[in-house]
Amino acid sequence: MRGSVVDPQSGLPSPCPRDRLLSPDSHMDVQGYKWVRWRVWLCRLAALLSLGLLLMVFHWRPRLAVLARCRSCPLALADVLLLRDSFGQQHVVEVLTEEMEAGSLELLGQQEEADWRDTVQLHKEEKTLLRYYLYEGLRYIWLDRKGAFCRVSVLSEDWTCRDLYGFQKGLSPQEQSLRRCMFGANLIDVPVKSYMRLLFEEVLNPFYIFQVFSITLWTIDEYYLYALCIFIISVISISISLYETRKQSITLRNMAQFITNVTIHRDSGEEERVSSVELVPGDCLIIPQDGLVLPCDAALLAGECLVNESMLTGESVPVLKTPLPVGDRTYSSETERRHTLFCGTHIIQAKGGRPGGSGAVAVVTSTGFFTAKGNLVSSILYPQPINFRFYQDAMKFLLILGVIAFIGTIYIFVILFRTNVTWLQLIIRSLDVVTIAVPPALPAAITTGTIYAQSRLKKRGIFCISPPRINVCGKVSVFCFDKTGTLTEEGLDVWGVMESGPAGLSELVPDPKLLPPGHMRSALGCCHTVTLLRGEPLGDPLELKMVDSTGWTLQEPEGEGDAVHAAFGGHKVLAVMRPPTQRPHSLGTTSSEAIAIVKRFPFSSALQRMSVVTVSHEGRSALAFLKGSPEMVASLCDSDTVPAQFSSTLRNFSSEGLRVLALACKPVDVNSDLTNIERGEVEKEMQFLGFLMMKNLVKPESPEVINILTLAHVRSVMVTGDNILTAVNVAKSCGMVRSDEKVIFVIATPHTAEAMPSLRFSEEDVGASAGQSPRDVTNQGLYQAGSSYHLAINGKSFAALCDHFPEHLPKVLLKATVFARMAPDQKTQLVKELQQLNYRVGMCGDGANDCGALRAADVGVSLSEAEASVASPFTSNTQNISCVPLLIREGRCSLVTSFSLFRYMALYSLIQFCSVLILNTVLTTMADMQFLFCDLFLVTLLAIVMGRGGPSEELHPWRPPASLLALPVFGSLFIHTCMIVLGQLAAFFITTTQEGYIPLNSTVFGAENLPNMENTCVFALAGYQYIIMAVVVTKSFPHKKPLYHNVIFLCLLLIHFAVMTSLVLYPGPFLGQIFKLYNFTDMNFKMLLVAVAALNFLVCFVVELLIDLGILNCLRLLRGRRPSKKQYKRLKALLSDSASWPPLDQTLSSTEHSVISFS
């Protein structure tokens, strides 16, 4: 019976149990099965009779094991569950049960009890069982009312902020014990398997099963030396693999698992010291003044905490966390980030939450894998499958080689069946062809290039936690960049202030110290979250610059701070801001007095603002100050206080690339409870104060990098939370938008009570070039007018576009370069929408507000001082975007190397396959040492060093192919295989037509016929072919350095060529006996063999050169031109033919459709 993981709020299918950020709308299909005893015993008997083969099949295909041993049943009765995740992968999990303590249910209340209780009659006693299963570290419990298994977090997902304050009194030991039974231990437990279990799983890998089969076959065939060497290599390989796997697991466990002792508040009023493992959602956590590393997610209820979140976000600037506002809204750690303390983050200091003014109080909201850290660790432990064509095609090609091996097996069987060989020899010879044609080392060999690239990146300060993504870097077609701290400098300099008054905006004041005393000056000095750590101010760089520009100093109460509280009317003071030393002002007044901050509402990317509540000396009056994006601040102000020049001034300053902030204030009732005042009450009906302008300089590396990407045909996109005009200016400064290109603004409005949704494209500068009127350009279409243009859109318009104009969204995404005022979740959505158009998307950001987008992108690069963070697959400790071209170059180099190695390993198998088929046809074979020499000395050494060549110094316009089954790749393999066969047959027939030719003994078969002329000539040419193909398939220009840079590979080629030539021309008696070589006396004949090899090389090299020049592409002309498989390329072709897109200065409604329809 089928079911699904359901959302407890709606009863509808919910996101996958662990949102991987790439498929939030997916759900997990669940089927229930019950053990059938007779089926279980029958499977055990079958496993015994098949000598464990059936168990091996069950290990590879767990679904078959469930179907064979169980019968389908309702989920409520299931012993085993078959899960299918959003990526189509199937998993088998066992349903576990746990008996609950008697009388414990009453602690939760009747409603919760009905949700999860499962009562059964055992020995006429009613016992309560908790039924659950574990999947990827998360616990899912059975909810009878829902008829489904749900994440255990559903029991706390509907908590309101007011409910969390209710937990401040603490839990009783009995209630905590019950919750621990349901939620499980507070551990991010990374499984570290024993060496024995790892060995068992490794040996059962199909690759090693094939190796065991091959070694057994060779041993029976008396290839003892070869079998022994391969066995030793396999043992070494397995040992290294086990060591590395276990080492990585231990490293991840040490990073993920953190156990400490914490203090919690009990309902009895006492404080108790417990292990963090025992924490459950609802526990009241006491945070000491000196802070701690947090072992869970918690909502801050009292006091302020300065937190370093670099481990999770890569953001090195500490963040100030403030108490959660009381309210009836449902608590969410995402929407309440500035009031949530996340697991794994380091609380540097806590203050103001306990008697004496030290410490803080928080309530545990999530534990274990349900925490933010648990979610990120889970994404490393259980990464999403990389949907990359190269890896998919590699498996398909192995199947093709398997088909070739099957054909070869049939051929050998038919040939030898006509001779007098024994049945054992017949079977062994036939099966031996399979071990030759299918190279078991192929999957391992193609990772060599990635390993070299990862090593080179690490030396350049780029750390990677997902090596397969290095190859994906080579196919990136669009790269998104955050603005502040990524494209521009992190720090900003105050550029000037404009104060609003009854007459409108004042003149620009370049230095805030020159402002007259008043609300504007007080706002600049107080509206921030800067705090002190060991006497030094700490906080957001922008706010530090702002406070520094005013000359005001920050002081914080020490100890209980009673004297400070009393000095400001008895209000609980968080910080005191003191103006510069009083001095006469030009107007004859003096500067303002000290102001106390009593409440902070921290900045939120989603809200685009922050605010504080302040009290004047002796508590005479209270003022609330607001700072944020000008548009947001203006919307929260009384309209009559917003100056008429607001829009034009904002446009002017933003167009110059300045970071513009607006400030506002309003009086607050000083006699009200200011400590518990709600944000919604503060941030409304404000009085507009003016603008603060800050200069945000573009990093010197940014224009250079953007230019490199543009020349390489990698599209650059800016995604920022800043003003759209500022973003456009920065886009022009760094070269995303050239001076001769137009910027068109996309303005979309949502459905409101007053108006229908609308979409409008407005040109930045309607002035057209000489000789053409703007209307001509509009009518003609921007493409036809020869005008290159970029679209710019803000977060509100992007949301409206997605909701009401989905048919236009792909066309906007195709040409949009600037995305402004984007919230963190919108950045993630943008990445996914670009991926829907078949773009390979890269994202580069500082890791703070970009975590979701960094993890959703195909290639996420976090600029962080940390050596590696779990915020994204790549972390660069270089604080600029110069790492991006390097990463793309390394990706392209790795991809080209992987292609070369794949083709080389495939051709190596085909060379040996041809040799064996030719020799077996005439009843002989290759000697044991010949196999060993070719496999280990020639092929393995060349394959290991082939990938050492580094990337090209330049980023070229075309990307390397990712498909192994593309015409150039498949065609070259086919032509080279034909050349290989012709070369070996030429050597064979030249030998058999020589005057001194001695036919071999046809009455015996295999090694008994050695040495002979046929074997020696075929071995000689095959040996040269291994070296020839290594040269032919190794690509360099334009994505790798020229071949001569790979000195080791070049030297090895020369050594191999010298050794091979000596074996052909002057083998000597010793080597001749070891390799079972026939001693040809005719030097001319030997030189003829070398000449055949040289001709083989020349033909293959010329063929490869012609293929690289695109000669095979003329075959595509026969089938006609086909549209691209990539949606963005098809859409680009459609738009280039459209004379009506974009429809400038026309308002589109959601019911209208574009001239171009695209699906």
State the residue for tokens 């959003």: 86
CA distance 364 to 175: 14
- Token couple for 162: 């007011």
Sign for the pseudo-dihedral over CA of 965, 967, 972, 975: positive
Give whole-number Cα distances, 790 to 178, 744, 811, 813, 1134, in Å.
59, 6, 12, 10, 17
Selection from 888, 856, 588, 610 nearest residue 719 by Cα:
856
CA distance 101 to 103: 6
How many CB atoms neighbour CB 57 within 10 A?
A: 14
Selection from 869, 825, 830 nearest residue 849 by Cα:
825
Q: Are 926 and 916 in contact (CB under 8 A)?
A: yes
Q: Are 840 and 477 in contact (CB under 8 A)?
A: yes
Phi, psi of 484 (to 5 degrees): -65, 125
Selection from 1010, 1026, 1027 nearest residue 927 by Cα:
1010
Q: Are 345 and 309 in contact (CB under 8 A)?
A: yes
Selection from 736, 741, 708 nearest residue 720 by Cα:
736
How many CB atoms neighbour CB 210 within 10 A?
A: 15
Residue type, 575: A
Give whole-number Cα distances, 212 to 215, 232, 402, 440, in Å.
5, 12, 17, 11
Give whole-number Cα distances, 84 to 64, 383, 476, 540, 1034, in Å.
14, 16, 30, 44, 41
Phi, psi of 494 (to 5 degrees): -65, 125
Q: Are 908 and 1030 in contact (CB under 8 A)?
A: no
Selection from 112, 120, 104 nearest residue 180 by Cα:
104
Task: Judge residue 389's burial from the number of C-beta atoms within 10 Å of its C-beta, 0-12 exposed, 13-18 middle, 19 or more buried.
Answer: middle
Sign for the pseudo-dihedral over CA of 108, 113, 116, 117: positive
Beta bridge partners of 496: 693
DSSP label of 951: B
Phi, psi of 448 (to 5 degrees): -60, -45
DSSP label of 858: S
Phi, psi of 196 (to 5 degrees): -65, -45
Sign for the pseudo-dihedral over CA of 665, 667, 673, 679: negative
Choose, from 115, 297, 482, 850, the residue flagged as catalytic: 482
DSSP label of 13: B
In 945-972, which positions are buried (b, 16+ CB within 10 angstroms) versus exposed (e)?
A: bbbbbbbbeebeeebbbbebeeebbbbb
CA distance 793 to 783: 20
CA distance 734 to 718: 11
Residue type, 937: F
393 part of the active site: no
| Active site positions, annotated | 482
